[in-house]
Amino acid sequence: MDKVKQLPKLCPSCGSVLRVKTMQCAHCQTSVEGDYQQPALMRIAKEDQEFIVNFVLCSGSLKEMAHKMGLSYPTVRNRLDDLIAVLKQNMETEE
């Protein structure tokens, strides 16, 4: 099974945040070009994206997340607080 390629977030040369320039339809090969910033959720670590997906699938229940992850409620709450801070920072750079 082929490993799914992950969209790079940072420039391999200088470490700056990458922006999207071209997108192409796999069906008809139509291309769209421009200078597009990645949304805040795309600019966070894959593990944080997975945390958000699981949080939504748990209907926003930190208690259920703690049980599912095998962690204490305060640990999951702290992880969520850290993630909120990162998202706020990413959203500020979008403006």
The series of mean pLDDT values per 10 residues for the chain, 95 residues long, is 75 88 92 87 90 96 96 97 92 72
Here the tokens at position 51 are 């945390």
In the prediction, which pLDDT does 58 show?
96
| Among the four given CATH numbers 3.40.50.300, 1.10.443.10, 1.10.10.10, 1.10.357.10, the one describing domain 39-94 | 1.10.10.10
In the prediction, which pLDDT does 1 show?
55
- Angle, vertex CA 92, rays to CA 86 and CA 95, nearest 5: 150
In the prediction, which pLDDT does 32 show?
92
Tell me how far apart the alpha carbons of residues 16 and 27 are, in angstroms, rounded to a whole number: 32
The whole-model pTM stands at: 0.71
In the prediction, which pLDDT does 64 show?
96
- Angle, vertex CA 15, rays to CA 50 and CA 79, nearest 5: 30
In the prediction, which pLDDT does 17 show?
83
In the prediction, which pLDDT does 95 show?
61
Q: Who contacts 64 (Cβ-Cβ below 8 Å, separation ≥6)?
A: 58
